[in-house]
Structure formats: structure tokens, C-alpha cells
């Protein structure tokens, strides 16, 4: 199946085949769902909104709620001002969220709708909020949209009163609710007061209770977002996702920030914990020390199975960068490292890793697609692929095990509940990778090489 | 909720609830969604794409920004017995400069790049929302490409805002007509065409197999598991069988006009509908032999299947079903099926049902059943809870909603896991809803999801 990919790599300038990214609004929608009592609103035609909701639902296996301006021919000619006005009124009347987070679509961007003006003109119920961000999909990717939406919340809401609240502001990056829970667990263990924006835990992984809550318990509250402006400092996790919102907060409220990679693997988690430690200045609790030691123990015990194994890693830039760092720590060779999101920072950071670990013959590429990755693999295969569901067609065609990590994963369950960040997340990741490699060995080896103890 | 404040005033006419709109004026449907609604509906492009996508040896290039292509990449579950090319995603991935300077050059180059690697017979070019706004002349580009490569390059202008999913079906039907209309009408054969089955989970194969058994051969499958060459045989057929009436009646009418092929509407969901349809098809051929064979086949299948169904029946009898699906025709079939199982349909909604569909639905369900057009999750939730539904039949967006409410679920959309058409499909369907309603998990959560609070 899907073996239409020719081996010969030829130049393409116009055709995108099997994309490794999607459009800004879906990221904006996910970010907005991480705010408590927030209804994401898609300003454009209905189809976009419907696709974005479906996409998120497929990944999280949880309802993704969002409304749409439902553009018609008229709106596409005269602008969507009237649609937005009606939408805001209807939304507060019926769904009664605390806040509406509007994002644009290609269409409303192309016709040049002025959202700032529309929102100023809209009737907003006392004590309620409407914010917006621009998310043209012909720029960036869903990662850009995610970052833009977070910045949008800050621009509209965050204020600095001059009284510091003693908290750390944390931008978790484009990660699963399970990852956000793990980050929060670590910070709580370390006794750090924090506000995380967004926080989709308790929303996109909400429990079965027998009642449907349109606005589940989780999510960063509006009050917390307002108070972000009073945070002591901020931590942007994932340079390519979180730096922009951190910068916005610094500009608006003078909250200084530090950028770190997503805490995936040993070194990046160390850096995260060091930064937290710097903030609270108390001793790192033994529990974390212990987890770290366990992780190292596992890496050592299993190293004969991971050492020198080659991997193709694909997906979102910060996640891929994090996983690349970790597989290098495991002694693996990240032969192909690609993201669909454009931006040279990715190439630069990954190249730095290649140099640091002195691996040779590895390739990195941003703004790439799965078709291209498939061609490379056809010419020179790898032992394991690490990324989202869409890689499975390549994995099948080339008979390579696929480890599912990142976004979107639409063909498996549980993944979004469990972390890949922190030491615990690294343990999970190494288990996934080793199991894939070792299952393969069990399957493929000759009878006489078949081992019970490995 | 009794006509409560959870329904937008604009929405009242789109809901028939015995206590709300008893004026008998029928339901408001086939209209645009309300701004601000959390609608479950998709767009024109989506409609066009789902109809054309199962043409397995065609190339489908989405001319637009990347999202529209990403979301429609291999999600539909239409199976192929041969080519797999349609399962790749091709897009021009329009960027900012293209939006400013136009995307025509890029589209031309994209076609060239496809032609450099592959040798498709047909390329469909879908133009999504912004293409019209930036003013690309995709007709001209397609014409030029046809000349240059001597293949068919067919534009499908399907900006999302230009209507509902149904408009998209029409666009797709036009594209199909464009593809299959020959310069001279061919001699008629005794074959039939099947319209409006997309071979989800292999359903087209079931139907074709039935027809083969009763002595009818199929010229073209439109579009499940279709190949361009087969499609081109369609004009020679003497009868069109229309399964998904919502998407394909338009095409059937066009084919009737242009190729003089009459059509009948059929449905292969449920024992009753399947048997009726087979008989009607047989009678429509006017061939005695076929009629005899059909009767015998139906007898045989009924004898085989009904005892098996009865085993499920005892678990299903008296249970309440809620339906939320795309088209009206499917909803009608489902109501009939639930009747067969001894179940009661308490809520029926569709995204794009027509007036006639809703009228028929009103006749099929009880007085107090809720009927709604283009519903939002809040309405679905309120009515399912109020009516005490035991199971919801719907699509991907409704699944988690149902589960959160503690209601069983069956996907009757793109993500169906087993074929649901024909006699074996009815068995699958019964088994699936039985499994979903009787999963041991319900036992654990029957006291409510929360144990300690
Ligand atoms: S039009 Fe733009 S926003 Fe809408 S789905 Fe396509 S890429 Fe995404
Ligand atoms: S941009 Fe238009 S065509 Fe594309 S998904 Fe959105 S509504 Fe549909």
C-alpha cells in the first residue's frame, strides 16, 4: 500500500505530497481548548472548523468543541463582520462560555477581515471576554497557530499591576495533556507556584463521569491569564513553539523569560529541573533524583539493543528535536530528522546536535513531507521510525517498525494520557522504542538466535 | 429541557419537538448554519472530495493552503481492489506569496510534477475557499494541461463557503459527468451502474456480489472502488441503482437526461430494505430469470440471517436509539433497521436531509421523537439525555460525546469498522450495537462515572 513513491528523488517546487503539518487554526483551537471555560471560534467557512474539530477528536478521542462564523458567499464578498457579531451574541446566549477565543482562517485572512475592529464593536456581556488571533494557514503551520493563539490571550488579557505574584509562568509547548500533567507534577514536587498556559489536561483527557460538560474542569483560568503579567519570570518550553508567546508576555508585562528545549530525554529534562531549581532555590527533591537514576539505569541496561540503531524521526519541530536529543543519548543514530513546519531554527538546532554527538551521514530538513522522507528511506532504510500515525503507510511499505510519538496519532489509544516529557516520560519513550526494536528482532531472527532472556 | 433556553431562537424551526413546533409546517432544512453554532457540518469541498476520492486511479490535487489537504488525507475508509494512489495527499500548499501573486503558476507546476513521476489518466483539481478570492483561473490551467498531456484534468470548484456539503456532491457529480460523457452514445448493454456507494469497509463488494448472484452485472461503481475505465462504461448501462440518494440523485437525473438511463433508489441497509431493493432491481430488469433468482436468493439469505439476528434481538428489543448522520436517506434506513430489531428511535438528526427525507422520517418514528436538522452538540446532548437514548449512531465527532454521556455508540460513517450493508452487514450492525451497548465497561460505570464524590 502507498507504494507509489519512486526511489529517485527529483526536485519538487510546487507539489506537496503527504504533508507533515497542518494549518494554523487547528493549533489555535487546541491552545484555546486549554483555557478554562473557553469556546474556540473559527472565523471563516464552516468546513475548516469541522475539519479542525474532527482532527483533534481523532487524536485525543475526546470531544473538541468550537463554533464557526459559518461564512457564506455574502461574507466572502462583503467581509465577515456581521457573521462575527451574530456569532458572539449567539455563543454567549446559548453556550455561555466565559471567553471566546477567535482565530481566523485562510478565507477571512485573504479577504482582509479586521478582527480587532469587529471585536471592539461586538456586544460582549459584562464579565465575559472575546480575544482573537490571526492564523493564516499559508504561513507557518499548526504550531504557529498554537503559538499565535497563546500570544492572543496574553495580548488581550495579561496585565502587570506592579505587584509580583511570586509565580512562574510556563508555556508547555505543543504537547499532550499527559505531558502537561507530568510538567505540573514535577513543578508541584519542587514546590513551585506556577501558571501554565495553555493547560489542556482535564479538558482533552477529561474523565468519564456520565455527564457531558461542554466546558470541563481543566484549563488555565482567565484570572490566571490576567495575572500572568505579574509572574516573576517565565519559562518557554520548546523554542519554536513557546518563545513567541513568552516574548509577547515580556514585551507587554516585562516578565523576563528563559527558553529551553522541550524536556524530552535526560539532558533537556535536567535543564528544565535546573531552571525550576534556580527559580525556587530549594533542594531538588529526592524523588526526582531517583527517577533520573532509574532512567539512566534503564538506558545502560538496554544499551546493547539501542546502540547504533538508526531512526527516522518526523513530526512537529520541538517534539522532533527533543526526541532526536534523546535517541542520541541512547546511542542511536537519528538518520533522518524532518518536520513539515517551515523555519531554519529547526535545521540549525538539529545540526548542532549532530555535531555535538558527532554522528555522520544524518540529514535534517524543515518544510519537508512524508513523501520525501519515504524516498530517503527507500534509498537507505532505518531500523525504526518515530512519529505520528501518517508514518504508518511508509512503515508498512518498507517494513519498518513505527513508534508512535507526537501529533497526530489517530490510530491508537491512551497515548495522549501519558507523557514523553520528564524522566518518567523518557522511560515511557525508551520502553516504546526498545519494544519496537526488540519485537522486530524476535520476529525476524532465525530460530537458533531466538532468545528468551534479552 | 422543554423548548428551553438551550435552543437558539434561530434554531427552533430546525427542530421538531412535539412541544415546540407543532404547527405541522415541517422542519427547516437545506439552509445555512447559524453563525456561532457548534455545527457538526462539513463544507462544499468535503462533499466533493468524499464523492470523487474513491476513484482509485485518479490523482486528486488540492489547490489551496495545506490544511484542506491534510484533513482529507486517506480518512474515508473507501477500499480499493487495485490502485492505492488515491490514498496519498497532493496539494499545492499555497503560501503567502501565492496568495498575493496568485497560485496559477504553482498549480501548473504541480501538475507537471505529477506528470513527471506518474502517468495518471485523470487528475481532479479541487479549488478550495481562497482560490476563487485570489482569482486563479483554474479552468484555463486544466484546459492547458489537458492539451499538453492528452489526459483529463478536471476542475472541481468547491470553495467551502459556497453552500453545504450537498453543493459539493453536485460539484462532484458534474465532474463525473464531465469525465464519462462520450462524444457518441454507446450501444446499451444489460448492465447496471451502482451510484452512491463508496465501498466503505468493502460494502460495494457485497452489493456487487449480490447482483452477480442474481444474474446482473455491473458496468460502473460510482464511486466506490472505481477505476476510470469502468466509469467510462457507465453510459452504456440500462439502469442506475442509487444507494446514497443524498449525494447521487443529481447525477442519476443527469444521466437519465443525457444517456437515457432510468434510475431507482435502493438501500442495502437492513434485511427489509436489502430484500426490497433486490426485488425491485430484479423487476426493473424485466428478466424473469433474474426475478426468480432474486426471490430464491432473498429467501435463502433471510432464512440464514433472521435466526442469527434473533439472537441479538433479545438484547436489543425495547432499547432506544438516537441517530445523527449526514444524509436523510441513511437515517431512514437506520430507523427501519432499528424497527426490525424491536428498537425505538427516539431522536433523528441529519446534517443535510431534505424536506422529503424529513417528511418520511416523521412517518416512521413515534409522535414524541425528536427530529433535528444540522444539530449542535448541546442539542444532541440535551435531547439524548431527555429521551433516554441507549445508543447513538453517528460519525467521528459524535463518538466521544456519546461516550461522555454514558451512551453506547456505533460509527455509521467513514470510520465504520465492518461493512454494514446487505444481510451480512445487518448482522455486523446488530453485533456492533449489541457489543457497544453490552460492554462490561457499562456495568462498572452504571452507578455513574464518579465513585467517591
Ligand atoms: S482554508 Fe485554511 S484554515 Fe481552512 S482548512 Fe484550509 S488551510 Fe485550514
Ligand atoms: S477552506 Fe473552504 S474548502 Fe477548505 S476546508 Fe475550509 S471551508 Fe472547506
Closest to A67 (Cβ–Cβ): which among B38, B107, B400? B38
Contact B35 A69 (CB under 8 A): yes
Closest to A61 (Cβ–Cβ): which among B35, B400, B448? B400
In the structure grid, which three cell numbers stand for residue A303, read together?
544499551
| Rounded CA separation B145/B139 (Å) | 10
Selection from B110, B242, B91 nearest residue B169 by Cα: B242
A375 contact B CB<8A? no
pLDDT in tens, A88-140: 999 999 899 999 999 999 999 999 999 999 999 998 989 999 999 999 999 99
Shortest CA gap A301–chain B (Å): 38
Contact B66 A22 (CB under 8 A): yes
Q: Would you say residue B205 has pLDDT above 70?
A: yes
Atom of ligand 1 nearest to the CA of B69: 6
Contact A45 B43 (CB under 8 A): yes
Residue nearest to atom 1 of ligand 1 (CA): A106
Please give the torsion angle defined by the CA atoms of residues B421, B426, B430 and B433, in that order, rounded to the nearest 10 degrees: 10
Give yes or no for a contact between B298 and B277, defined as CB atoms under 8 angstroms apart: no
- What interface predicted TM-score (ipTM) does this complex get? 0.91
- Identify any residues that bridge with B61 across adjacent strands, giving them in sequence order: B90, B125
Contact B70 A23 (CB under 8 A): yes
What pTM was estimated for this model as a whole? 0.93
pLDDT at A74: 84
Helix, strand, coil percent content, chain B, rounded in steps of 5 = 50, 15, 35
Contact A212 B66 (CB under 8 A): no
**Ranges of chain A whose pLDDT falls below 70:** 1-3
Contact B66 A48 (CB under 8 A): no
C-alpha radius of gyration, chain A, whole number: 22
Q: Would you say residue B20 has pLDDT above 60?
A: no
pLDDT in tens, B57-113: 999 999 999 998 998 887 667 888 888 888 889 999 999 999 999 999 999 999 999
Instruction: Report all structural domains of chain A as residue ranges with CATH numbers, in order of start.
Output: 24-157 (3.40.50.1980), 168-286 (3.40.50.1980), 289-446 (3.40.50.1980)
Mean per-residue pLDDT over chain B, rounded: 88
pLDDT at B279: 96
pLDDT in tens, B411-442: 887 677 789 999 999 999 999 999 888 888 88
Ligand 2 neighbourhood includes B72 CB (under 6 angstroms): no
Give yes or no for a contact between A95 and A67, defined as CB atoms under 8 angstroms apart: yes
- Provide, as residue numbers in chain A, all residues whose Cβ is less than 8 Å from the Cβ of B87: 1-2, 393
Atom of ligand 2 nearest to the CA of B42: 8
Ligand 2 neighbourhood includes B129 CB (under 6 angstroms): yes
Ligand 2 neighbourhood includes A47 CB (under 6 angstroms): yes
Cα distance between the two ends of chain B: 25
Selection from B300, B392, B299 nearest residue B338 by Cα: B392
Selection from B227, A94, B6 nearest residue B218 by Cα: B227
Distance between Cα A30 and ligand 2 center (Å): 19
In the structure grid, which three cell numbers stand for residue B111, read together?
501538475
Contact A210 B117 (CB under 8 A): no
A112 contact B CB<8A? no
pLDDT in tens, B152-182: 999 999 988 888 888 999 999 999 999 999 9
pLDDT average, residue stretch B237-250: 89
In the structure grid, which three cell numbers stand for residue A65, read together?
468543541
Instruction: For chains A and B, count residue pairs whose Cβ atoms are closer than 8 Å.
Output: 264
Question: Which residue of A13, A72, A94 is the best one to mutate when testing the B interface, meaning the one whose CB has the most B CBs within 10 A?
Answer: A94
Closest to A16 (Cβ–Cβ): which among B93, B162, B404? B93
Number of separate helices (H) and strands (E) present in chain A: 18, 14
Contact B159 A3 (CB under 8 A): no
In the structure grid, which three cell numbers stand for residue B450, read together?
464518579
Residue nearest to atom 6 of ligand 2 (CA): A48
A209 burial (CB, 10 Å; 0-12 / 13-18 / 19+) is middle
Supply the DSSP string of A298-352, one letter for each residue.
HHHHTHHHHTT-EEEEEESHHHHHHHHHHHHHTT-EEEEEEESS--HHHHHHHHH
Q: Where does the pLDDT of residue B2 fall: very low under 50, low under 70, confident under 90, or very high at 90 and above?
A: very low
In the structure grid, which three cell numbers stand for residue B4, read together?
428551553
| Rounded CA separation A95/A66 (Å) | 10
Instruction: Report all structural domains of chain B as residue ranges with CATH numbers, in order of start.
Output: 1-30+317-416 (3.40.50.1980), 44-180 (3.40.50.1980), 190-295 (3.40.50.1980)
pLDDT average, residue stretch B185-189: 91
Please give the torsion angle defined by the CA atoms of residues A107, A110, A111 and A116, in that order, rounded to the nearest 10 degrees: 90
A88 contact B CB<8A? yes
B392: left (phi over 0), alpha (psi -120 to 50) or beta: beta
pLDDT at B58: 93
pLDDT at A222: 98
Distance between Cα A51 and ligand 2 center (Å): 8
Residue nearest to atom 5 of ligand 2 (CA): A48
- Ranges of H-type helices in B150-202: 165-180
Amino acid at each position: 500500500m502507498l507504494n507509489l513513491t519512486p526511489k529517485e528523488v527529483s526536485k519538487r517546487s510546487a507539489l506537496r505530497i503527504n504533508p507533515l503539518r497542518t494549518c494554523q487554526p487547528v493549533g489555535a483551537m487546541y491552545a484555546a481548548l486549554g483555557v478554562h471555560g473557553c469556546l474556540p471560534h473559527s472565523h471563516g467557512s464552516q468546513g475548516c472548523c469541522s475539519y479542525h474539530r474532527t482532527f483533534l477528536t481523532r487524536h485525543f478521542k475526546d470531544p473538541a468543541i468550537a463554533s464557526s462564523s459559518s461564512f457564506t458567499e455574502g461574507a466572502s464578498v462583503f467581509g465577515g463582520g456581521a457573521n462575527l457579531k451574530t456569532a458572539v451574541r449567539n455563543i454567549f446566549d446559548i453556550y455561555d462560555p466565559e471567553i471566546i477565543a477567535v482565530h481566523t482562517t485562510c478565507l477571512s485572512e485573504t479577504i482582509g477581515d479586521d478582527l480587532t475592529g469587529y471585536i471592539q464593536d461586538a456586544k460582549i456581556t459584562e464579565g465575559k471576554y472575546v480575544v482573537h488571533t490571526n492564523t493564516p494557514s499559508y504561513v507557518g503551520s499548526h504550531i504557529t497557530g498554537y503559538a499565535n493563539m497563546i500570544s492572543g490571550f496574553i495580548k488581550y488579557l495579561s496585565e502587570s499591576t506592579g505587584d509580583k505574584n511570586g509565580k512562574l509562568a510556563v508555556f508547555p509547548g505543543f504537547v499532550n495533556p499527559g505531558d502537561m500533567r507530568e510538567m505540573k507534577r514535577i513543578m508541584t514536587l519542587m514546590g513551585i507556584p506556577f501558571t501554565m498556559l495553555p493547560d489542556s489536561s482535564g479538558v482533552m483527557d477529561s474523565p468519564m463521569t456520565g455527564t457531558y460538560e461542554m466546558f470541563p474542569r481543566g484549563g488555565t483560568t482567565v484570572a490566571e491569564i490576567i495575572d500572568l503579567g505579574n509572574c516573576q519570570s517565565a519559562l518557554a518550553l520548546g523554542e519554536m513553539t513557546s518563545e513567541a508567546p513568552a516574548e509577547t508576555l515580556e514585551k507587554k508585562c516585562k516578565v523576563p523569560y528563559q527558553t529551553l528545549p522541550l524536556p524530552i530525554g535526560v539532558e533537556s529534562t535536567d535543564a528544565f529541573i535546573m531552571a525550576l531549581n534556580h527559580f525556587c532555590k530549594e533542594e531538588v527533591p529526592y524523588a526526582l533524583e531517583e527517577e533520573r537514576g532509574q532512567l539512566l539505569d534503564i538506558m545502560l541496561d538496554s544499551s546493547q539493543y539501542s546502540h547504533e540503531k538508526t531512526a527516522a524521526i518526523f513530526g512537529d519541530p520541538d517534539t522532533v528535536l527533543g526526541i532526536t536529543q534523546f535517541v542520541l543519548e541512547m546511542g542511536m543514530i537519528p538518520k533522518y530528522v524532518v518536520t513539515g513546519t517551515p523555519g531554519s531554527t529547526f535545521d540549525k538546532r538539529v545540526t548542532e546536535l549532530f555535531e555535538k554527538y558527532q554522528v555522520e551521514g544524518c540529514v535534517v530538513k524543515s518544510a519537508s513531507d512524508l513523501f520525501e522522507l519515504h524516498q530517503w528511506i527507500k534509498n537507505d532504510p532505518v531500523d525504526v521510525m518515530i512519529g505520528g500515525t501518517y508514518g504508518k503507510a511508509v512503515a508498512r511499505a518498507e517494513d519498518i517498525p513505527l513508534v508512535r510519538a507526537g501529533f497526530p496519532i489517530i490510530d491508537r489509544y491512551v497515548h495522549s494520557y501519558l507523557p514523553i516529557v520528564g524522566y518518567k516520560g523518557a522511560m515511557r519513550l525508551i520502553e516504546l522504542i526498545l519494544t519496537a526494536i526488540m519485537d522486530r528482532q524476535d520476529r525476524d531472527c532465525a530460530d537458533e538466535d531466538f532468545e528468551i532472556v534479552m | 429541557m422543554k423548548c428551553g433556553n438551550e435552543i437558539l431562537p434561530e434554531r427552533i424551526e430546525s427542530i421538531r419537538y412535539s412541544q415546540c413546533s407543532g404547527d405541522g409546517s415541517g422542519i427547516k432544512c437545506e439552509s445555512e448554519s447559524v453563525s456561532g453554532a457548534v455545527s457538526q457540518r462539513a463544507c462544499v469541498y468535503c462533499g466533493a472530495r468524499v464523492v470523487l476520492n474513491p476513484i482509485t486511479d485518479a490523482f486528486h490535487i488540492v489547490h489551496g493552503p495545506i490544511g484542506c489537504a491534510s484533513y482529507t488525507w486517506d480518512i474515508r475508509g473507501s477500499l480499493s481492489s487495485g490502485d492505492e494512489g488515491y490514498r496519498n495527499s497532493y496539494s499545492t500548499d499555497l503560501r503567502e506569496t501565492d496568495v498575493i501573486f496568485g497560485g496559477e503558476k504553482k498549480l501548473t507546476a504541480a501538475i507537471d510534477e505529477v506528470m513527471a513521476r506518474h502517468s495518471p489518466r485523470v487528475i481532479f483539481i479541487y479549488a478550495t475557499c481562497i482560490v476563487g478570492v485570489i482569482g486563479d483561473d483554474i479552468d484555463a490551467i486544466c484546459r492547458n494541461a489537458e492539451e499538453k498531456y492528452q489526459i483529463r484534468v478536471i476542475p472541481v470548484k468547491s470553495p467551502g463557503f459556497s453552500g453545504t456539503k450537498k453543493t459539493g456532491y453536485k460539484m462532484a457529480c458534474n465532474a463525473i459527468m464531465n469525465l464519462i460523457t462520450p462524444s457518441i452514445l454507446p450501444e446499451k448493454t444489460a448492465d447496471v451502474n451502482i451510484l452512491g456507494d463508496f465501498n466503505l469497509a468493502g460494502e460495494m463488494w457485497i452489493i456487487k456480489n449480490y447482483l452477480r448472484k442474481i444474474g446482473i452485472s455491473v458496468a460502473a461503481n460510482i464511486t466506490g472502488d472505481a477505476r476510470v475505465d469502468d466509469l467510462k462504461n457507465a453510459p452504456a448501462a440500462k439502469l442506475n441503482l442509487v444507494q446514497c440518494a443524498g449525494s447521487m440523485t443529481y447525477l442519476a437525473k443527469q444521466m437519465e437526461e443525457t444517456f437515457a438511463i432510468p434510475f431507482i433508489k435502493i438501500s442495502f441497509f437492513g434485511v427489509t430494505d436489502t430484500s426490497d431493493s433486490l426485488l425491485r432491481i430484479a423487476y426493473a430488469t424485466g428478466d424473469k430469470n433474474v426475478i426468480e433468482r432474486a426471490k430464491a436468493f432473498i429467501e435463502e439469505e433471510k432464512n440464514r440471517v433472521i435466526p442469527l439476528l434473533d439472537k441479538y434481538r433479545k438484547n436489543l428489543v425495547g432499547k432506544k436509539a438516537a441517530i445523527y448522520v449526514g444524509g436523510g436517506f441513511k437515517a431512514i434506513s437506520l430507523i427501519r433497521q432499528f424497527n426490525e430489531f424491536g428498537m425505538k428511535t427516539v431522536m433523528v438528526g441529519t446534517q443535510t436531509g431534505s424536506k422529503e427525507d424529513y417528511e418520511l422520517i416523521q412517518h416512521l418514528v413515534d409522535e414524541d421523537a425528536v427530529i433535528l436538522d444540522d444539530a449542535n452538540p448541546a442539542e444532541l446532548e440535551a435531547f439524548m439525555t431527555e429521551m433516554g437514548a441507549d445508543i447513538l449512531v453517528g460519525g467521528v465527532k459524535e463518538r466521544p460525546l456519546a461516550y461522555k454521556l454514558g451512551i453506547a455508540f456505533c460509527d455509521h460513517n467513514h470510520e465504520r469498522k465492518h461493512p454494514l450493508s446487505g444481510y451480512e452487514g445487518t448482522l455486523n450492525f446488530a453485533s456492533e450495537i449489541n457489543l457497544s451497548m453490552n460492554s462490561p465497561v457499562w456495568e462498572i460505570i452504571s452507578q455513574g462515572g464518579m465513585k467517591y464524590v
